[in-house]
Amino acid sequence: MSFAGHQNDVYLKGVFGEQPTLPFDWRALQSAAESVMSPGAVGYVSGGAGAEDTMRANREAFDRWRLLPTMLRGIPAERDLSLTLLGTEMPAPVLLAPVGVLEIVHPEKERAVARAAKAVGLTMVLSTASSTPMEDVQAELDGSPGWYQLYWPKDRDVAASFVQRAEKAGYRALVLTVDTWQLGWRPRDLDTAYLPFLHGQGIANYTSDPAFQAGLSDPGGAVLHFLQMFNNPTLTWDDLAWLREQTHLPIVVKGVQHPDDARRAVDAGVQGIVCSNHGGRQVDGAVGSLDALPGVVAAAGDLPVLFDSGVRTGADALKALALGARAVLLARPWVYGLALAGQPGVEHVLRGLLADLDLQLGLSGHRTVGDLTPDSLVRI
């Protein structure tokens, strides 16, 4: 599939006077989106932990790696970006990262995102903290691949119910986030005294869950009931054995940066790892995710490693792939697209990222993403 052709489409439309309505540069996109979002939504989506040093470290890590192009390699006009990851066929090594509480961004919430993912052909990872029940999102995906991200609740009956619902609905993998057993210190949210969950936002998977409802003594107490079970600080690597018993789906552990944790994930028998620092939203002053990636890949052995935190461009994705990631997860940019234009806005961002990645791959002298190695880069 030629994703690069999207560039030609934009230029050809310009010949007939049709101008793009949304920016292509991610900085301009973010600025435009923040101008239409509420202050609370801007803080929640764009903000990070503490002084936001980890957010900056994520971007600075990309700047320390540079592509080293090679020429006259006979690169075909149509590159092959496809892969199969944990049984899911993908046209490109890009997934939509899980982002919760999308009702604060656009009224069509996760439904618009699912339709965009289906239209472009990419895998959507749905957040536990979504504003739309997982079954309704799966209906919008309508056969297009989706994975389900799990925040493991304190109540094991609810945890089991979430996993069983996800498998029954047709999600193809389970992504367990391990870095958010408690919310980080987020000054932007504190400045507006805004936590969406306290307003009943982002808890649709809970309020639609029979196990959650069974433990709810007061029908009006859903928010309090949620708050009592969301944080689960007692979890250890040993608990993954119980989770494995609940599902036949492949399990991916998201939030790994230390090589020792990658080795523990291998020992726990999971099927994949996401090297991630939650976009800098949890631990301030932590290592940039790309800086952690080579160590995680080395420790993971044959286990596939995915990557997120800081990906904004095709070149960013290419660098992560060259350092050993099998695929990248994109988050904030498509959220900004959603804020500006709903489904078309998400599609705009995804098609642009894929075109950029495709062009960068070919122009740097590679036929497929499998040709990328650390030798494709230099560190400065």
Two tokens, residue 333: 């940019």
Q: What residues contact residue 357 under an 8 Å CB cut-off, 6+ apart?
A: 3, 81, 92, 94, 314, 317, 318
pLDDT tens track for 53-88: 999 999 999 999 999 999 999 999 889 999 999 999
Tally of CB atoms within 10 A around 266: 16
The answer to whether residues 350 and 119 touch, using CB atoms and an 8 Å cutoff, is no
Partners of residue 174 on adjacent β-strands: 148, 251
Q: Of 106, 278, 348, 366, which one is the catalytic site residue?
A: 278
Q: Nearest to residue 53, comparing CAs of 191, 187, 254?
A: 187
Q: Nearest to residue 144, comparing CAs of 86, 83, 91, 107?
A: 91
Per-residue burial over 17-35, b = 16 or more CB atoms within 10 Å of its CB, e = otherwise: eeeeebbeebeebbebbbe
The reply to whether CATH 3.20.20.70 applies to domain 5-69+79-364 is yes
pLDDT tens track for 293-342: 999 999 999 999 999 999 999 999 999 999 999 999 999 999 999 999 99
173-192 mean pLDDT: 97
Q: What residues contact residue 128 under an 8 Å CB cut-off, 6+ apart?
A: 98, 100, 148, 149, 150, 151, 162, 205
Indicate the residue type of 3: F
- pTM value? 0.98
pLDDT tens track for 239-281: 999 999 999 999 999 999 999 999 999 999 999 999 999 999 9
Tally of CB atoms within 10 A around 360: 20
Is 6 annotated as catalytic? no
Query: Which helix (H) or strand (E) element contains residue 147?
Result: strand 146-150
The answer to whether residues 232 and 178 touch, using CB atoms and an 8 Å cutoff, is no
